[in-house]
Structure 1
Amino acid sequence: MFHDPRFWTALAFVLFFVIFGRKLWVAITGHLDARADSVRHDLDEAARLRREAEQMLEDANREREKTLAETQAMLARSEAEAAGLAERARKDAEAAAARYEKMAQDRIHAAERSAIREIQDRAAQIAVAAARDVVSTRLTESPDIAATLIDKGIDSLPEALRRSAA
């Protein structure tokens, strides 16, 4: 047994672990504990970063929804404003058309009045010419009628002047 190399190898192995085993065990467990602490720290850091990322995502989603709501509100206001502007433009166009129509009607009425005056003036001229012809024909035939007409004209002159002044 003492001559067998396996015995001495086994004994050396056992003595090595008895002498250095505690130190090796402490060093190995210390290294493993340090590694476990490092992994635990990394996991805690990853969890913290994940929570922060989730919070940032939630904030970004809230901000996006808020911005979307503001955009929709702005769009609604813009549409309402555009509708108001269109309505105002329509009313302005209608008012302008009404003004132009009124001006055209006024011009037509003025032209009608002018035409009526011209017709009346022309009719009066024709009537005066016809009356002149009739009167001159009759006056030349009968001088008494001329005197009577002149007297009636002079008598009705004050009344005609009063009517024209009023």
Structure 2
Amino acid sequence: MANPTDAPLPQVFETESPEAFVEAGHGTEVGHAEPELLGLVPFQWVSIAMFVLLLIAFLGAKVHKTIAGGLDNKIKAIRDNLDEAKQLRAEAEALREEYATKIAGAEKDAEAMLDNARREADGIVAKAEEDTASMIARRERMAQDKIAAAERQALADLRARAADASTAAAAQLIAQNHDAAADKALADEVIAHI
């Protein structure tokens, strides 16, 4: 089987062979002529033009100083930005540490406040229990005093009624058992003792 790469390639734009060109009297060698000006080819002219342009730019317009100044200014601006970034970072670290200490302090304050509130609540509960106990004792004493006063009043009323009843009974007995002669003898006896 034949390899496709072994086949001769067709020549697409060949109009006449180089041998026919030489036979026609055009010379022995087929070549292309390069354009030239004053013995220099185009790439040499471009190189000379670029050199002259850069020479004018660097020496005539002092572009190199402008470029160097611009680069120096850019470098200075970058350094300033870096210094500012370092300063901002240091400030941020300081703020972070400050807020960390504030948070720790706030947590300690919150714990202290909570402990204080617990102590106060325990004190309030104890005081309330003490006040309640003293109020109950005071009210109990007041009730006992009222009961004792009521008992005394009842006894006084009972004694007064008993005295009234015995006085009335005695007066009635005396009126029934004593006449005028017995009264006279009793009065004489009292007078004699005086």
Where in structure 2 are the equivalents of 1:80-159 lying within 5 Å? 80-116=119-155
AA aligned to 1:8 is: W
Partner of 2:89: 50
Partner Cα distance (1:38, 1:129) in 2: 129
SS at match of 1:110: helix
Establish whether residue 14 from structure 1 lines up as the match of residue 24 from structure 2.
Answer: no
Computed over aligned residues only, the root mean square deviation of the Cα atoms, in angstroms, reads 4.0
Partner Cα distance (2:44, 2:171) in 1: 174
Residue ranges of structure 1 left out of the alignment (5+ in a row):
135-166
Partner of 2:41: 4
Give the TM-score normalised by structure 2. Answer: 0.53
Partner Cα distance (1:50, 1:25) in 2: 36
Q: Displacement, 1:31?
A: 2.6
AA aligned to 2:89 is: R
Larger radius of gyration: 2
Give the TM-score normalised by structure 1. Answer: 0.60
Partner Cα distance (2:163, 2:63) in 1: 145
- Candidates 48, 67, 75, aligned match of 2:106: 67
AA aligned to 1:67 is: A
Q: Displacement, 1:51?
A: 0.9
Partner Cα distance (1:121, 1:19) in 2: 146
AA aligned to 1:6 is: F
AA aligned to 2:48 is: L
Partner Cα distance (2:172, 2:80) in 1: 134
Q: Displacement, 1:119?
A: 5.3
AA aligned to 1:28 is: I
Assess, with a 3 A threshold, how the Cα gap between structure 1 residues 118 and 3 changes in structure 2: closer, same or farther: closer
- The alignment of Structure 1 onto Structure 2 pairs a total of residues equal to 146
Q: Displacement, 1:45?
A: 0.8
AA aligned to 1:11 is: I
Q: Displacement, 1:7?
A: 1.7
